[in-house]
Amino acid sequence: MTSNDFPILRLKKNEERRIYSGHLWAFSNEFVEVPKNIAAGSIVKIVRDLDERFVAFGFYNPHSLIAARILSRDPVEQIDTDFFRRRLVAAADRRALLLSSRNSARIVHSESDLLPGLVIDKFDDAIAFQISSAGFEVRKDELIALIEELWKPRAIVEKNATHTRTLEGLEQIERLVKGDSAEALITDSAGSKFTSDILTGQKTGFYLDQMENRTELRRYVKPGMKVLDLFSNDGGFAINLAAAGAASVIAVDSSVPALKRLKLNASANRVAEKITTVARDCFDFLQEQTEALDMIVVDPPSLVKSKRDLPQAVRSYQSLNQHALRLVAPEGVLFTASCSHHMSRDLLAEVIQEAARKSRRTVTVLEERGAGIDHPILVGMPETAYLHAFVLRVL
């Protein structure tokens, strides 16, 4: 099928403006009609209803609020296997310099790499992919063939068990597509090593978005520091801070398997004697503590699955930060983060301000940080700026 043969969808008056500005979603209520006879995952040609002027090509899903995900605004673009191959190569090439200093990175970041609904993470010689659009779901075999062709990985893992797939009407599935093992050895730019089973690990197997923040936070460590790492997972922050000179690190997580992996990683990095693990709900643990600490890391999983969860999430983030600020010693450091696009940078700043007021602490911002450079932000699409973090000095 050529681009001229794609089914046509018509946008209501003025609904094309956001797409022209660089946003890559068109919602079901923006179209004159949402046909049910066009299969989910089909490529469609989007035009203005007023004059049938071309707007874009996109993936279509009649079962989702996001009815179309934009692929190209070039009217003569041919959307075929070679199109996707070029997009994949371009995305990976953007990470080439980063991968010269570490062996793992996100090499495709969905809309930000103009591949809507597709994430690909490279863990040394293993590849994990995650699909959140019907367009790539129906092209899964084609995608796997391209991954094999372009990177020839030892292992390929499908990590398709996410909330966003439910919204797209897609089934939940995690499987080892290629290889005998989904285990990978991950190294960051500071030389820390982490062993992860990609198939059973969270998200795509390992939290790559905080990798740069973990190594950059080392600069605030002074010898003898006492550190608390909340929601520690595999130990990315705990191990880096211990290796940077902290005297002791308490790593808290509710997941016993995650803490088991943390202990193995700590031993591999020769900092096991500095790290104490606690299997506990982080909210409960934090509220019960009284000992002052020199640095606290608050890096919870997303607390906002949808917009309706935002009020409760704001209360949860405020509680976490209020109790953390209460415990930070004078001149100490708090690193606090949120990984939901519903929690904007400004809203997180307001949460911190209110937490400081309630804990009667004065804080200054040393740095504002986000996801690593392998997780770029698409300027026309604020949803891609999902991770916000502050490094705070507590006075």
Condensed to tens digits (0 to 9), the pLDDT of residues 45-92 reads: 999 998 999 999 999 999 999 999 999 999 999 999 999 999 999 999
Does the pLDDT of residue 2 top 80, yes or no?
Answer: no
Phi, psi of 307 (to 5 degrees): -60, -35
- Which is more confidently placed, 309 or 52? 52
Contact by Cβ (8 Å): 241, 215: no
How many CA within 13 A on the CB side of residue 303?
Answer: 21
CA 78 vs CA 56, 82, 83, 86: distances in Å: 12, 9, 7, 12
Element (H, E) at 156: strand 155-160
Beta-bridged to residue 15, according to DSSP, are none
pLDDT tens track for 193-240: 999 899 988 788 889 999 999 999 999 999 999 999 999 999 999 999
Among 208, 217, 339, 391, the one annotated catalytic: 339
Does the pLDDT of residue 3 top 70, yes or no?
Answer: no
Residue 305 pLDDT grade (very low, low, confident, very high; cuts 50, 70, 90): confident
d(CA 58, CA 271): 49
d(CA 216, CA 240): 9
d(CA 60, CA 134): 7
Phi, psi of 183 (to 5 degrees): -80, 140
d(CA 247, CA 239): 12
Q: Is 339 among the residues known to form the active site?
A: yes
Per the structure block, which two tokens stand in for 200? 């059973």
Cα torsion through 52, 54, 60, 64, rounded to 10: -70
d(CA 164, CA 151): 27
Give residue 51's pLDDT. 92
Give me the mean pLDDT over the 286-315 stretch.
90
Which pairs with CB-CB distance under 8 Å and at least 24 residues apart come from 149-153? 149/85, 150/85, 150/88, 150/89, 150/92, 151/92, 151/122, 151/127, 153/122, 153/125, 153/126, 153/127, 153/178, 153/179
Residue 303 pLDDT grade (very low, low, confident, very high; cuts 50, 70, 90): confident
Amino acid at position 256, single letter:
V
Least confident of 47-51, 103-107, 165-169: 165-169
Give residue 304's pLDDT. 77
In this structure, how many other beta carbons lie within 10 angstroms of the beta carbon of residue 172?
10
Query: Helices marked H in 44-101 — which ranges?
Result: 81-93
Give me the mean pLDDT over the 308-331 stretch.
94
Contact by Cβ (8 Å): 375, 342: no
